[in-house]
A and B are shown apart, each in its own frame.
Chain A
Amino acid sequence: MALDSEKKQVFKVVGTRPARPDGIDKVTGRAMYGADATAPGMLVGRILRSPHAHAIIRSIDTSAAEALKGVKAVVTSADFGAPEDESIRDVQDNCMARGKALYHGHAVAAVAANSAVVASQALKLIKVDYQILPHVTDVDEAMRPGAPVVQADRAFENVAAGFSENVTSQCEFGHGDLEAGFAKADKVIERSFTTAATHQGYIEPHACLASMTPDGKGDLWCCTQGQFHVRTVCAEIMGMDASQLRVTASEIGGGFGGKTTVFIEPVALALSRKSGRPVKIVMTRDEVFKATGPTVSSSMDVKIGMTKDGRITAAQARLRYQAGAFPSETVTYGAQSAFAAYDLKAVETIGWNVLTNRPKEAAYRAPGAPMAIYAVESVVDELCQELSLDPLDVRLKNAADKGTKSSYGPTFEAIGLRATLEAAKAHPHYTAPLGVNQGRGLSCGFWFNFGGNTCVSLNINTDGTVGITEGNPDIGGSRASISQMAAEELGIPYEKVRTIIADTNSLGYNDVTDGSRVTFSVGLATIEAARNAIKVMCGRVAKIWGIDEDAVIWEDGCAKPSGPNAGSFDPMSIEEIAAISANTGGPIAGHFEVNADGAGVSFGVHLADVEVDPETGATKVVRYTVFQDAGKAVHPDYVEGQMQGGAVQGIGWALNEEYIYGKNGLLQNPGFLDYRIPVASDLPDIETVILEIPNPGHPYGVRGVGETPIVPPLAALSNAVSRAIGRRMFELPMSPPKLLKAMSQKR
């Protein structure tokens, strides 16, 4: 996308806080989420899962289950083909184990029955003959030669020698002369860190309703972040043409990246095909934890050199990410983002992806970045302490800025890091006094943001109101923002616009709702679609007035002559133009299709105050402030909401959330009681400060805001805790037993 020359600076609708269009449905219980769909003759689908961490499936005997009254279909991997595309085959094998169960909770068979009771009984009748294999769930252990091999022959050639077969890929980024850089430093610190796997923790479990007919057509309703992606994957797995599978996204009860892939949809489709009836599958919470996407866990080393006055001379990171039983690219994002906040002469990051007997990792808000940046920001903080430097000053001194060659290659356009740091420095929080046992920490955060394939239709109704059809599920108010941008561009009130999310048959391909792309890309496409519609309207009016098309301009929802030379005509409003559209050439619409780039990276800074109980190791967050560059906040409430929600997910990650595996390789805590996401009483208010440094790649300057806020809390809290207890922490989560132990050790 070329830079937009007509950048809009004064807004009427954008920047206001109107009520969201789906609000009433959601507060009255009317909104239809994944599990709320029904279909005539619907069956209940249930999935049998591996009780072992790693086992060969010698055989599966489904005969007793099939014989049970009420059971209409049973499927195993034998009911699926072998897609050529490796990544799609991985998705399929994750949905239904082929030959080997790769983790505790891996699906091995499924049934469809006329009731939930019968379906559960049927699962018990399926006999699976397992040959248990040695397993590995820890990333460092999995890398060692001789470790149990999760999947053979999956490693890329560029992986350095000396690792086990579980290391499937390696990536490297950076520039400059490290050795010379470190030599210039007054202080070099090198530390190792670990972070536990965490789950996105959306409150709505995965759910879908599949209906296949004998003529090969299919309909699928599901809660997803991307119905088009679901269609691509499912059509391929089911051996169908995309045109024959229509996917409709339900309202979605949270995703955070975890609903960008499929877990149950192909299984429901296969059961429906086999039974000839619609099949609904709703995961239990236990299944969600065992078999859907946690994020990676990590083991990392970071080395940074700094001069006495706080200039970073060289920086290096080694990242080892375990992403479960299938190859993953997430470590690449970690390696790219680790040092993104800094303007560095010498920097190097190397990352490895590692297979383990854990569920296939799925994207989680800024996938790969939080852990890498946690390690980097921890070492920077320790250097500040060692050299008695102010941590904000040091960040300002080294901050990346417009024109900086980033640590991962590209040169930055206008970015908001410096402004964000300065806002934090000027904020009263930064200098507020601390109490006993309290500490203050800060961290920068970064995310790339994405654009991607986007397609929007904008129809001018005959009464002059506007219908927008877009293809990205609304996970946090995006329909409101899209309507706002359309209203802004068309010069009409927000209330005149209604935005809906289309099924896969109604629009061209849209990438999933991820990468913080929706407000940016769909917004951009909507603005362009509106401009196209305006062009059509101006053309119609030009004909009516009998003047040149470029002599008509669009202002405040009306076509007007461009000036006195164009002639003297009364402005024609959008209502008037629409009302006579049948006589001027027919319906009026605007479309826009784009593979958008120019998303504009986003930076944030978080300040956290904590209090640690010296006798129990319990940490309380007492004050928290988020500073972030939003480019342009279209609907500030929802921007703040993203900042607050992301911060709290990061707080959970830092303090108490973790996947706990026993020695037997089984997940110990697949429920919300023991997988401890923050509850309301754990938290203070989350203050927000929105900065607006326009993104040159968007007509209104919008940047994605959804992901960056989960990045800084990890280090902000670790730095705060480390300062509060006078000892450095190198491990997340900082659960009370770990803190108490650290506090009892000599400094």
Chain B
Amino acid sequence: MKNLHISTTVNGDQTEFVCAPDETLLDVLRNRLGLTGAKEGCGTGDCGACSVTLNGRLVCACLVLGAEADGAEIGTVEGLATGDHLHPLQSNFIEHAALQCGVCTPGILVAAKALLEKNPNPTDTEIRYWLAGNLCRCTGYDKIIKAVQIAAAEMRNA
């Protein structure tokens, strides 16, 4: 199995890595690039804990090959905050207790950000369906939906 040399952009930074052809983007991010914010809850697309954006589209990093990242732009939870300034979703998740254990949180934040870019003023139902691929076992989702709404309102008024 010959390793591949890949050039990509992660959170705006030009990045290169070497990976095996069957290695997933999630493994690359976590094991080769030190970006362990994306979590592996299942490795089979069922939980959303590994959510990242690939050329602006929300995807499961566990269902993308590292090789497919060549020439692409990848966004992860590590890229959400600007400097020491948290993204409104991040600050509102803390303020409104939208996380308990927090392991689903990186994926949910990345997914919610993608939603608000597409639809800055979603209904609760739209948020619930958009986030249906992000499992959270701790919160019952209630506070997550509310925090996304509050962040969305804050972003609309910014």
By beta carbon, the residue of chain B nearest A674 is B46
Assess whether B137 is interfacial by the CB under 8 Å rule. Answer: yes
Chain A CB count within 10 A is highest, among B103, B135, B144, for B103
Cross-chain contact A680 with B141 (CB below 8 angstroms): yes
Assess whether A677 is interfacial by the CB under 8 Å rule. Answer: yes
Cross-chain contact B142 with A685 (CB below 8 angstroms): yes
Cross-chain contact B138 with A204 (CB below 8 angstroms): no
Q: B44 is contacted by which of A253, A285, A477, A683 (Cβ under 8 Å)?
A: A285
Cross-chain contact B140 with A254 (CB below 8 angstroms): no
Cross-chain contact B42 with A285 (CB below 8 angstroms): yes
Assess whether B100 is interfacial by the CB under 8 Å rule. Answer: yes
Q: A476 is contacted by which of B35, B106, B138, B142 (Cβ under 8 Å)?
A: B138
Cross-chain contact B137 with A647 (CB below 8 angstroms): no
Cross-chain contact A648 with B141 (CB below 8 angstroms): yes
Interface bits A682-693 vs B (CB < 8 Å: 1, else 0) = 010110000000
Assess whether A544 is interfacial by the CB under 8 Å rule. Answer: no
Task: Please indicate the chain B residues that have their CB under 8 angstroms from the CB of A203 in the complex.
Answer: 39, 41, 47, 49, 101, 103-104, 135-137
Contacts A28-B78, A672-B135, A680-B128 given; does A637 touch B143 at CB 8 Å: yes
Q: A251 is contacted by which of B38, B89, B102, B141 (Cβ under 8 Å)?
A: B102
* In the bound complex, CA of A637 to CA of B146 (Å): 12
Q: A19 is contacted by which of B30, B94, B134 (Cβ under 8 Å)?
A: B94
CB<8 Å pairs between A and B, sample of 10:
A26-B99, A27-B77, A27-B89, A27-B94, A203-B137, A251-B101, A253-B41, A254-B100, A640-B97, A680-B132
Cross-chain contact B139 with A673 (CB below 8 angstroms): no
Task: Please indicate the chain A residues that have their CB under 8 angstroms from the CB of B1 in the complex.
Answer: 117
Contacts A117-B20, A641-B139 given; does A475 touch B96 at CB 8 Å: no
Task: Please indicate the chain A residues that have their CB under 8 angstroms from the CB of B78 in the complex.
Answer: 28-29
Interface bits A65-76 vs B (CB < 8 Å: 1, else 0) = 000000000000
For chain B residues 34-83, which have a beta carbon within 8 Å of chain A? 35-44, 46-47, 49, 76-78, 80-81
By beta carbon, the residue of chain B nearest A254 is B101
Assess whether B28 is interfacial by the CB under 8 Å rule. Answer: no
Cross-chain contact B143 with A644 (CB below 8 angstroms): yes
Contacts A17-B97, A648-B141, A671-B46 given; does A33 touch B135 at CB 8 Å: no
Task: Please indicate the chain A residues that have their CB under 8 angstroms from the CB of B100 in the complex.
Answer: 254, 475-477, 638, 641, 645
Task: Please indicate the chain A residues that have their CB under 8 angstroms from the CB of B38 in the complex.
Answer: 29
Assess whether B153 is interfacial by the CB under 8 Å rule. Answer: no
Interface bits B125-137 vs A (CB < 8 Å: 1, else 0) = 1011101111111
* In the bound complex, CA of A476 to CA of B136 (Å): 13
Interface residues of B, Cβ cutoff 8 Å to A: 1, 20, 30, 35-44, 46-47, 49, 76-78, 80-81, 86, 89-91, 93-97, 99-106, 109, 124-125, 127-129, 131-145
Cross-chain contact B77 with A23 (CB below 8 angstroms): no
Assess whether A31 is interfacial by the CB under 8 Å rule. Answer: yes
> Taking the nearest CB of chain B, how far is it from the CB of A320, in angstroms?
28
* In the bound complex, CA of A469 to CA of B136 (Å): 29
Chain B CB count within 10 A is highest, among A22, A644, A673, A681, for A681
Contacts A27-B93, A205-B41, A645-B138 given; does A253 touch B102 at CB 8 Å: yes
Task: Please indicate the chain B residues that have their CB under 8 angstroms from the CB of A671 in the complex.
Answer: 42, 44, 46
Task: Please indicate the chain B residues that have their CB under 8 angstroms from the CB of A644 in the complex.
Answer: 139-140, 142-143
* In the bound complex, CA of A204 to CA of B106 (Å): 13
Cross-chain contact A29 with B137 (CB below 8 angstroms): no
Cross-chain contact A20 with B141 (CB below 8 angstroms): no
Cross-chain contact B129 with A686 (CB below 8 angstroms): no
Cross-chain contact A27 with B143 (CB below 8 angstroms): no
Task: Please indicate the chain B residues that have their CB under 8 angstroms from the CB of A284 in the complex.
Answer: 43
For chain A residues 309-355, which have a beta carbon within 8 Å of chain B? none
For chain A residues 603-646, which have a beta carbon within 8 Å of chain B? 637-638, 640-641, 644-646
For chain A residues 454-484, which have a beta carbon within 8 Å of chain B? 475-477
By beta carbon, the residue of chain B nearest A646 is B140
By beta carbon, the residue of chain B nearest A477 is B100
Task: Please indicate the chain A residues that have their CB under 8 angstroms from the CB of B141 in the complex.
Answer: 648, 678, 680, 683
Assess whether A35 is interfacial by the CB under 8 Å rule. Answer: yes
Task: Please indicate the chain B residues that have their CB under 8 angstroms from the CB of A30 in the complex.
Answer: 37
> Taking the nearest CB of chain B, how far is it from the CB of A295, in angstroms?
14
Contacts A203-B137, A641-B138 given; does A27 touch B42 at CB 8 Å: no
